Amino acid sequence: MKAIIATGRGLKPRLTLADIPEPAPPGPDDVLVRVHAASVNPKDWKLNYLLAAANRPFRGSRPKALFGDDLAGTVLEVGGNVTEFVRGDAVFGMDMRLRTASLAERTRIDQGCIAKKPPSLSFLEAAAMPLAAQTALQGLCKGQARAGSRVLIIGASGGVGTFAVQIAKAMGCHVTGVCSHGNIGLVRELGADHVIDYSRGDYRRTAGPFDLVFDVVSRESPRSCAELIGQQGWFISTGGNTRAMLGTPLFRLLGKNATSMLVESRRKDLETLSDMVKKRQLRPIIDSEFELADADAAYRRSRSGRSRGKVVIRVV
């Protein structure tokens, strides 16, 4: 089958389309999926150097497909314990155990990490959702967002942010989004009640207080956002920022609510998101589309930090 592998050396290996062996038959709880589309997340290229080292074949060995978390595709085969899916089902999801290896024509994934694809979405649109939308949903829930909550979303125009704005509005929250000047219109269109242009002064000293400060791009820390957080408010970071990861335990010692989160893949959450799509409360925002052979360019686009919504890749 065709799949993306890492070639070359160094911290930014080149992603190359290659012929590799097909995956093994699915285990008892696995589903074999023909991948139609995938998407790119910052997690992907931040781990490139580790994956490249793992994927560099020893003499005589064959390269493995390791790249890509999100997928949307069609079920080809199911394991003996699988009862929710049958051959031909259109599904979407992602697997956080290591990598879904979705930048390949076929891959295996645990049945608990996928759900039926929303019928109104294309495969490309559905592939944009699993990691980013689940991160948004789980972060808002960790921060105890509910109807009437005042929520600040830092990075509101990115992959996670565009979902977070919509999901928070569907929960009945009052949403303020932080983004660049060029993305103000998009964030307003998604339903934000107020939008802050981060280039026009230090909003961390003038905005708030909020019941939840959700840093979806992991640029801030509880300390840097202290003046934004209400007395019983929460600070949630998506992880990856050392200051946030080290600062949250200290913040909790001071009696404050703060945590750095890692997204989990759950069928229940995917089904919740699918229901929101059906109710027209949620839609993926696609920044750009690439073919599988152009995966390296797709990663560069994501790494630029300028994408509005998600970068998606057409696989089959």
Q: Which residues pair with 310 in a beta bridge?
A: 286
69 in Cβ contact with 99 (< 8 Å): yes
Using the predicted structure, report yes or no on whether residue 54 has a pLDDT greater than 80.
Answer: no
Q: pLDDT value at position 59? A: 52
Q: Is the dihedral of CA 24, 28, 29, 33 positive or negative?
A: positive
Segment 225-257, tens digit of pLDDT? 889 999 899 999 997 777 777 777 767 766 788
- What is 2-129+284-314's CATH number, 1.20.1440.230, 3.40.50.1220, 3.90.180.10, 3.40.50.720? 3.90.180.10
**DSSP symbols for 90-140:** EEEE---SS----SBSEEEEEGGGEEEPPTTS-HHHHHTSHHHHHHHHHHH
- pLDDT, averaged across the chain: 90
- Report the pLDDT value the prediction gives residue 55, as an integer from 0 to 100: 57
- Please compute the mean of the pLDDT values over residues 128-140 and round it to a whole number: 98
| Side-chain half-sphere exposure of 171, counting CA atoms within 13 A | 27
pLDDT(69) > 80: yes
What does the pLDDT read at residue 17?
95
Please report the pLDDT score of residue 107 as a whole number: 95
Smallest CA-to-CA distance from 315 within 78, 51, 67 is with 67
CATH superfamily assigned to domain 131-260: NAD(P)-binding Rossmann-like Domain (3.40.50.720)
Task: Please tell me which residue, 63 or 7, carries the higher pLDDT value.
Answer: 7
Instruction: Judge whether residue 82 has pLDDT over 60.
Output: yes
Structure confidence by residue, pLDDT tens digits, 168-186:
999 999 999 999 999 999 9
Domain limits, the chain:
2-129+284-314, 131-260
pLDDT of residue 52 exceeding 70: no
20-30 burial by CB neighbour count: b if 16+ within 10 A, else e? beebeebeeeb
